[in-house]
Chains A and B, each alone.
Chain A
């Protein structure tokens, strides 16, 4: 707590550590214009990741996490998409107004992406080796022979057995887990600064998922790569991420370290989410706490907090206005009226218990 400060709004401008930030997104707003109207998919998202850090963007479908990361890669289809405002600074460079040509050298070389469905990330008509080599030739200007050698090396890095044999095979000859490894190899080939992994293990079996997570963790430790992980699986988050940004209905509702967000969550949505997941290591509760209702329609976003309609601690002001981010602790921020200075019901003890219990 900072005594004497009026509002505890946290602003990025005053942050002294911005040099070590590899990626910084500020107040990003993206909409899609469809035949049925305008969908406000991203409504003011701000997040960042440090060099060699690992950030998980957690949220359920429709929260805007994929759209946000698509925008970082400049893969947003425009039209119908439109980046209405905001800034994306990567390694000191503003990406929003970058030309397509300049962006092409960023994609693949500086930022690598891993997709959820390996079949969309891999070209079914090219051998895996060629796909890796191709990005090396293009971005690193390697000769074909050298690129092929490096491609085989990459396959070994991601622990694909018989790498030189496998490099000459096509994606359909790989199993699901191996395809995902191949995608990781392609993403890592040019030694990018940042890896964005969009639900990399969601379509995999649990035992294969464990293998891939193990691989990602090893690579992270060995190569010190910066990774942004998009997922809705809290177990995966706990394993890989050191920082977490929780998104809901197009906005970031809470940001903090893994310990802070898991053990000291400040936003009712985060808390509810954590309580709705059954845990193998704890005795069974009688009932999982579920969040009633459904996320709001982003055609007509509600005027106030998007979570208010489903929030146990909702207050009058929540329905009318959106809350700005408040500081909860070191690097721990939450966008919730419960934390506003002017909230007369606020006290540390009660907030630890999750707000006004109705």
Chain B
């Protein structure tokens, strides 16, 4: 039995502040999300893979002795060796450098188109969602039509009109690509509009501008971010696909898709020329997907324990 002295039974005066104190350190919204993200092993793996590939894309072509366009006759289709770390392609160009270059371009295209889709989609969806009613109806029916048009058809038409190249491929990917983001943002805004804190803001006298800017958009950020990181793998794949069927950037520029296309020609004899770009594409897509999933889980307020 515990030894307790009589004076321990003396009453203590406790101020109300002790009763109200929050013992945990303050955790902001993004800090909280980062903590949750870190615990997700898959997401962290994705992040690391992305970091490594970014490093490769940036530094690879710099540290390599070769240029992405220069070719060595007589050294075509080499397997990975000491001179060419990842071998050479059918024209004798160094694969290591071309892969670095290719990753740069693929990621550039993916991110650019995702950002453009974001900008158009958020604006469009924001307006549609906030005003609702007839405006929303018209705007959303337009979006429905755009989504309904066969994507490949648009791309092919575009590319017969424009010169295939970096700009045209981005245009092709954004001309209807923003529709998905618009729908998402509009749905989110429609939902948020009815939240009590938005009602409270109206009650306090906030103007529609203030409500959209300070309440609606910041609370949509999470959804937007997640959608962005989910769009990027789609964009990478689309770019790879388009390039693979010959609608991509022109040689000697390389993207992961064009590299895959070139490698495909010699698949049976020199498989590394297709396998390596293929693996890169897969890893990039997987990594972005894991990060996107992790972000979504980290930002979901319902999963907070």
Name A's B-contacting residues (CB within 8 A). Answer: 6-7, 32, 34-36, 39, 80, 292-294, 296-297, 299-300, 308-311, 313-321, 337, 340, 342-345, 356, 358
B18 and A80 contact, CB distance less than 8 A: no
Q: Known contacts being A35-B35, A309-B14, is A294 close to B9, with CB within 8 Å? A: no
**Closest CB in chain B relative to A322 CB, distance in Å:** 10
Query: Which one of A32, A292, A296, A320 lies within 8 Å of B305 (CB-CB)?
Result: A32
Decide if B251 is an interface residue (CB 8 Å cutoff).
no
Could you list 13 further interchain pairs (A-B, Cβ under 8 angstroms) beyond the known A36-B24, A36-B35?
A39-B305, A293-B16, A294-B19, A300-B23, A309-B18, A309-B19, A311-B14, A314-B11, A317-B4, A317-B9, A318-B12, A342-B4, A344-B6
Nearest-CB residue, chain B, relative to A355? B11
A-B contact pairs, 18 of them (CB 8 A): A34-B305, A35-B35, A35-B38, A36-B305, A293-B16, A297-B22, A300-B24, A309-B14, A311-B14, A314-B11, A315-B8, A315-B10, A315-B11, A317-B4, A317-B8, A337-B9, A342-B4, A345-B9
Query: Which residues of chain A are near B9, meaning CB under 8 Å?
Result: 315-317, 337, 340, 342-345
Name B's A-contacting residues (CB within 8 A). Answer: 1-2, 4, 6-14, 16, 18-20, 22-24, 27, 35-36, 38-39, 305
Query: Which residues of chain A are near B7, meaning CB under 8 Å?
Result: 316
Q: Give the complex CA separation of A317 and B4 in angstroms.
A: 8
Query: Which residues of chain A are near B4, meaning CB under 8 Å?
Result: 317, 321, 340, 342
A316 and B36 contact, CB distance less than 8 A: no
Q: Known contacts being A35-B36, A299-B24, A358-B13, is A293 close to B305, with CB within 8 Å? A: no
Q: Give the complex CA separation of A32 and B20 in angstroms.
A: 24
**Closest CB in chain A relative to B37 CB, distance in Å:** 9
Q: Give the complex CA separation of A258 and B30 in angstroms.
A: 48
Q: Known contacts being A316-B12, A319-B12, is A342 close to B305, with CB within 8 Å? A: no
Q: Give the complex CA separation of A105 and B190 in angstroms.
A: 46
Nearest-CB residue, chain A, relative to B27? A36
Q: Give the complex CA separation of A321 and B27 in angstroms.
A: 30
**Closest CB in chain B relative to A80 CB, distance in Å:** 7
Query: Which residues of chain B are near A314, meaning CB under 8 Å?
Result: 11-12, 14
Q: Give the complex CA separation of A35 and B22 in angstroms.
A: 18
Query: Which residues of chain B are near A308, meaning CB under 8 Å?
Result: 14
Query: Which residues of chain B are near A35, meaning CB under 8 Å?
Result: 35-36, 38-39, 305
B19 and A321 contact, CB distance less than 8 A: no
Q: Give the complex CA separation of A39 and B305 in angstroms.
A: 10
Q: Give the complex CA separation of A36 and B20 in angstroms.
A: 20
**Closest CB in chain A relative to B162 CB, distance in Å:** 49
Please name the 9 residue pairs, one residue from A and one from B, whose CB atoms are nearest each other, closest first. Answer: A293-B19, A317-B8, A34-B305, A35-B39, A316-B8, A356-B11, A343-B9, A315-B9, A344-B6
**Closest CB in chain B relative to A41 CB, distance in Å:** 11
**Closest CB in chain B relative to A132 CB, distance in Å:** 31
Query: Which residues of chain A are near B14, meaning CB under 8 Å?
Result: 308-311, 314
Interface centre among B2, B13, B14, B27 (most CB of A within 10 A): B14
Q: Give the complex CA separation of A32 and B305 in angstroms.
A: 9
Nearest-CB residue, chain B, relative to A33? B305
Query: Which residues of chain A are near B22, meaning CB under 8 Å?
Result: 297
Query: Which residues of chain A are near B36, meaning CB under 8 Å?
Result: 35
**Closest CB in chain B relative to A292 CB, distance in Å:** 5
A293 and B23 contact, CB distance less than 8 A: no
Query: Which residues of chain B are near A310, meaning CB under 8 Å?
Result: 14, 19
Interface centre among A34, A342, A344, A345 (most CB of B within 10 A): A342
**Closest CB in chain B relative to A4 CB, distance in Å:** 16
Query: Which residues of chain B are near A343, meaning CB under 8 Å?
Result: 9
B11 and A7 contact, CB distance less than 8 A: no
B305 and A313 contact, CB distance less than 8 A: no
Nearest-CB residue, chain B, relative to A314? B12
Q: Give the complex CA separation of A39 and B23 in angstroms.
A: 13
Query: Which residues of chain B are near A345, meaning CB under 8 Å?
Result: 9
Q: Give the complex CA separation of A318 and B16 in angstroms.
A: 17
Q: Give the complex CA separation of A343 and B7 in angstroms.
A: 9
Q: Give the complex CA separation of A32 and B27 in angstroms.
A: 20
A313 and B11 contact, CB distance less than 8 A: yes
Q: Give the complex CA separation of A340 and B5 in angstroms.
A: 12
**Closest CB in chain B relative to A11 CB, distance in Å:** 13
A315 and B12 contact, CB distance less than 8 A: yes
Q: Known contacts being A35-B39, A35-B305, A297-B24, is A316 close to B19, with CB within 8 Å? A: no
**Closest CB in chain A relative to B293 CB, distance in Å:** 16
Q: Give the complex CA separation of A158 and B6 in angstroms.
A: 57
Q: Give the complex CA separation of A309 and B24 in angstroms.
A: 16
**Closest CB in chain A relative to B255 CB, distance in Å:** 38
Nearest-CB residue, chain A, relative to B36? A35
Q: Give the complex CA separation of A299 and B305 in angstroms.
A: 12
**Closest CB in chain A relative to B182 CB, distance in Å:** 31
Interface centre among B4, B22, B24 (most CB of A within 10 A): B4
Query: Which residues of chain B are near A315, meaning CB under 8 Å?
Result: 8-12
Query: Which residues of chain B are near A7, meaning CB under 8 Å?
Result: 1
Query: Which one of B2, B8, B19 lies within 8 Å of A292 (CB-CB)?
Result: B19
Interface centre among B9, B20, B23 (most CB of A within 10 A): B9
Q: Known contacts being A32-B305, A35-B39, A36-B305, is A293 close to B11, with CB within 8 Å? A: no
Q: Give the complex CA separation of A344 and B10 in angstroms.
A: 9
Q: Give the complex CA separation of A315 and B13 in angstroms.
A: 9
Q: Give the complex CA separation of A294 and B20 in angstroms.
A: 6
Nearest-CB residue, chain B, relative to A295? B19
A316 and B10 contact, CB distance less than 8 A: yes
Q: Give the complex CA separation of A44 and B4 in angstroms.
A: 22
Query: Which residues of chain B are near A80, meaning CB under 8 Å?
Result: 305
Query: Which residues of chain A are near B11, meaning CB under 8 Å?
Result: 313-316, 356, 358
